Structure 1
Amino acid sequence: MSVRPIIKYPDQVLRQKAKTVPVVDKSIKTLIDDMIETMKAGSGCGLAAPQVGVSLRCIVLGMPEEEPFAIINPEFVKRVGEREIEEGCLSVPDLGGHVKRSISVIVKGLDRQGKPIRVRGKELLCQALEHEIDHLNGVLFIDRVESPDKLFKKEKPVEVEAKDAAADLAASQ
């Protein structure tokens, strides 16, 4: 398992429709393991294969305090309701925005063994499923922001700012 570089917007792989995974073999299982490690390293709750430069229909999800899992060739079976939420993306690290997402979804696909699965998602899992499946279709959350006033620049985390301030102070002495 290894952490792969996360592809950043405006790289064109993020805008392509990903290809169907024809067979779940060792290379797909390695991809899944690497994606889970990459997602954890980036402190994300989901990651799509195009975000690591692989244009295949594979996503991984890792909800807080739950074991991460993969869905290969995911498809929506059902979407219910609508809500507006704040969203960000590891591939668009400097921006956040308010987007409309479903209240709940049901997604079908294959697990890492190639067996059929169905996943019901509400709240964060629902949001992550929609966000990651969007990636497989070449859609980014910034495409779902209704107007520029619903997009915002993310602030650096406090620890990074403190580190920067310490470096500036050391350089001035």
Structure 2
Amino acid sequence: MSKLTILTWPDARLSQRCAPVGAEPLDDLIADMFETMYAAEGRGLAAPQVGVMKGLFVMDCTWKEGPKSPMVMINPTIMAAERSPAEMQEGCLSIPGVLVSVARPKAVTVQWTAAEGDIHMADFDGFEARCIQHEFDHLNGTVTFDHLSGAERANAEAEFLEINT
């Protein structure tokens, strides 16, 4: 396993839509992504954040408060989402130091392929649903700044540049 470099905004790859994962081996990439995510103290990490433009992400929403519960989602699809959104502050490993308020559905139904190749479908709510939607956004070339209005985005970008330059 090796720690990967996390791309930071405004790297153009963070604005690109990912290609679906094919039949290529992923074990090393997945292990490296988990190592990178835990080292960065994150709860989710999408492949494009480490420069791999493929449709997969890793997440572990519980490891900071209790036992680890690592999950890999390959070629995920959000099949359904609760209509009433909840607003919450979100951080992003690719936008270090900046929290922005993002409205997202409180619950989602997701279909994905696991690392072993099995297809799953499950309902998620609360923080897990938020994390999935955040990482799913990365697979579609969307970052948290893209959820903000013009003035809010300009302020958040200025804050990022002040902290990270």
Do structure 1's residue 110 and structure 2's residue 113 form an aligned pair?
yes
2:104 to 85, 101, 104: 101
TM-score (norm 1): 0.82
2:163 matched residue in structure 1: none
Kindly provide the CA deviation profile for residues 13-63 of structure 1, in whole angstroms up to 9, marking residues without a partner as x: 11110000012x43x121111111111011111010000000000010101
Given that 1:21 and 1:73 are in contact with CA atoms closer than 8 Å, whether structure 2 keeps it comes out as: yes
1:114 offset after TM fit, Å?
1.1
What is the Cα deviation at residue 120 of structure 1? 2.0
Task: Give a deviation string over 1:88-111, Cα, whole Å, max 9, x none.
Answer: 100010321101011100111100
Any conservation in 2 of the 1:99–1:146 contact (CA below 8 Å)? no
TM-score, normalised to structure 2's length? 0.86
Tell me the percent identity: 34
Candidates 69, 75, 78, aligned match of 1:76: 78
Deviation at 1:69, TM superposition (A): 1.2
- Mapped pair 1:30 → 2:28: yes
Unaligned runs of 5+ in 2: 161-165
Equivalent residues in 2 for 1:7-156 (5 A)? 7-23=7-23, 25-26=24-25, 28-64=26-62, 65-80=67-82, 81-146=84-149, 148-149=151-152, 152=156, 153=159
1:33 is paired with a residue whose SS is helix
What stretches of structure 1 of length at least 5 have no aligned partner?
155-173
How many aligned positions are there? 152
The residue type paired with residue 59 of structure 2 is: L
> Structure 1: how far apart are the matches of 2:122 and 2:73?
9
Larger Rg: 1
RMSD: 1.6
